[in-house]
A = this chain, B = another copy of it.
Amino acid sequence: MSDVFLALVEQTLAEVLPSFRPAVLSEAMRYAVGTGGKRIRPLVCLASAVAVGGKAEDAKYPAAAIELLHNYTLIHDDLPAMDNDRERRGKPTVWVKFGEANAILAGDALLALAYQVAAKAPRNIAAIIDVLGEKGVGVVQGQVEDVSCSKFGVSKPQTSNLKPQTDDFIYRHKTADLFIAAAAMGGLAGGGSDADVAALREFALNLGLAFQYEDDLLDGDGIYPPEETERLVHETTAAAVAALDQLPCDTTFLRELAHKLIGRKV
């Protein structure tokens, strides 16, 4: 099933990514989105449509849209004015390969394209664009907070009382917001009820947080001491599972995805 979903994601991305003038722009956009990645967010989107009783196909455009949006955030995060990263996934970052101006602009074009693509969903387009807009802004809020904290040394090392509060804000926005948008758009495109979409949002928020805490455990650089972080992984994981139980149809694939994301703890 995962292979079928992944093929649908790759096929839809190939369909929507442009080949237009100027060539350097469409090349940079394609380079950034790449092929063969894990595509976690679009898979969450497709599986959410299934979990409310729709077809994966219903959510293919919102799924492609969230991947375009995710990749624009990576391009801009890597810029010299932000994280100044020269490599990603073992390859030169977009600004290293295409220049800084083209990297900023390729990110901009992916963001605009994401909305155009999401609006091709078969239903509930106003609500789909609303959540993609809200979370598209939210992810920027998280990034601005992150950049400010790094600059003023609040985030690392763990010296400030502000840290847990600040990092929680960053986790919710930088990490969880795109998962929430993916799940909510999938539920809406699949024709889910308001209650279904609310459950999917709850699932995705907790999945995003669990994912981030798990990451902290692995990296050994979390907000809280390891035992507390471990407790939070379990707490958010349990909340994610509880939210899945509220959904009317098959949630197998969402559970499987959660397994992969947070070390088989869901």
Contacts and interface: CB of A to CB of B under 8 A. Distances in A.
B79 A145 contact: no
A108 B22 CA distance: 21
B116 A134 contact: yes
Contact of A115 (B25, B129, B169): B129
A141 B22 contact: yes
A24 to B, nearest CB: 6
A21 interface: yes
A104 to B, nearest CB: 6
Nearest to A73: B108
A140 interface: yes
A100 interface: yes
A120 to B, nearest CB: 8
A249 interface: no
Contacts of A104: 76, 79, 81-82, 104
B109 A119 contact: no
A132 interface: yes
Contacts of A18: 137
A105 B21 contact: no
A118 B119 CA distance: 12
Given A117-B133, A126-B125, A144-B24, A82 B101 contact: yes
B144 A25 contact: yes
B119 A126 contact: yes
A136 B18 CA distance: 14
Which of A82, A118, A147 has the most chain B CB within a 10 Å cutoff? Answer: A147
A116 B144 contact: no
A165 to B, nearest CB: 11
Contacts of A117: 133
24 contacts: A22-B144, A22-B148, A24-B148, A76-B105, A79-B101, A81-B99, A101-B144, A101-B147, A102-B144, A102-B147, A108-B108, A109-B141, A111-B136, A112-B137, A112-B140, A113-B133, A115-B132, A116-B133, A116-B134, A116-B136, A118-B129, A119-B133, A125-B125, A129-B129
